[in-house]
Amino acid sequence: MKHWARNLGVLLIATAIAPYGYVQYRLRSHDWTPLDAAGSLNDGSTTETADFRTDLTGFYNVSLTFAPVNVELEECLIGDRLFSKSCDATQNGLDLDWSVLRSDAHEEVPVTEYQRYRPASFGGAGYVGTVFGGFEAHEGDKYRIAVRVRRVAPELRSASPHIRVEAGRIYWEQWVIFAQLTLLFGVIVGLPGIALLIKEVLSQRRSMAQKAVPAE
């Protein structure tokens, strides 16, 4: 069959790209972090975020994040003492209550009443973070987070605190894994397709060069 290498190469490349493209589309089809806003945490103050909208129905985590200025100290102050031996003499640096409000057309409805800060998990990429709660959201609804501070350590207050809301890992983690797998699949399947296209181009150039040589 004429040009079989080209046709097979195009087919392989298309097969390699399609799954990866679909996964990337799914990853970008939602705003997994609808809120990541600077929060002013001062003793005795109450801070409310701006309204944010969730675009899926499900569970969202609420957390505080801090710039990694002094990581070990900040981890101690937010209550992460599992692997640090230097936290024994460090007092907890966060004493606050938090609440989630849903913004309706005419009023704000509490989704969660004020609750005491109790860290549920820690971690983060590029920041020191503490997840302290969550709530069930509905697609298209608007919410805001309220934080009522009793006391916050100066080291945390000066570390660019942010209030962050992120969809539960169950909704997006699988697509991150699929992205890695489809990328590997794309490399394995796509490289032979590229090689076949290069072979076809070289074959055509060689054929053209032979035709251009005048017969003796």
Average confidence (pLDDT) over 106-131 = 88
Per-residue pLDDT, 177: 81
pLDDT over 80 (residue 206): no
Q: Which residues contact 146 (CB under 8 A, 6 or more apart)?
A: 46, 47, 48, 49, 98, 99, 100, 101, 114
Q: Is pLDDT at 2 greater than 60 in this prediction?
A: no
Q: How confident is the model at residue 37 (pLDDT cuts 50, 70, 90)?
A: very high
Q: Which helix (H) or strand (E) holds 66?
A: strand 58-66
The answer on pLDDT for 86 being more than 70 is: no
62 or 175, higher pLDDT: 62
8 A C-beta contact, residue 172 and residue 73:
no
Strand, coil or helix: 46? strand
Q: What is the mean pLDDT of the chain?
A: 85
pLDDT band at residue 91 using 50, 70 and 90 as cut-offs: low
Is 17:190 a contact under the CB 8 Å cutoff? yes
Does domain 33-168 match CATH 2.60.120.790?
yes
> How confident is residue 159, by pLDDT bands cut at 50, 70 and 90?
very high
pLDDT for 127-149, tens place per residue?
A: 999 999 999 999 999 999 999 99
- CA 99, CA 138: separation in Å to the nearest integer? 17
**How far is residue 137 from each of residues 79, 110, 111, 164, measured CA to CA in Å?**
27, 12, 9, 15
Ranges 160-169, 180-189, 194-203: which has the least confidence? 194-203
Q: What does the block give as tokens for 37?
A: 């806003």
For 110, the enclosing helix (H) or strand (E) is strand 108-116
pLDDT of residue 158: 92
Locate 204 and state its tokens: 């055509």
**Mean pLDDT, rounded, for 12-25:** 86
Regarding predicted confidence, which is higher, 92 or 210?
92
Per-residue pLDDT for 36 more than 70? yes
Q: What per-residue confidence (pLDDT) applies to 215? A: 54
Cβ–Cβ under 8 Å, residues 69 and 143 = no
Q: What ranges do the domains of the chain cover?
A: 33-168
25's CB contacts (< 8 A; 6+ apart) are none
pLDDT of 80: 82
| pTM for this model (two decimals) | 0.74
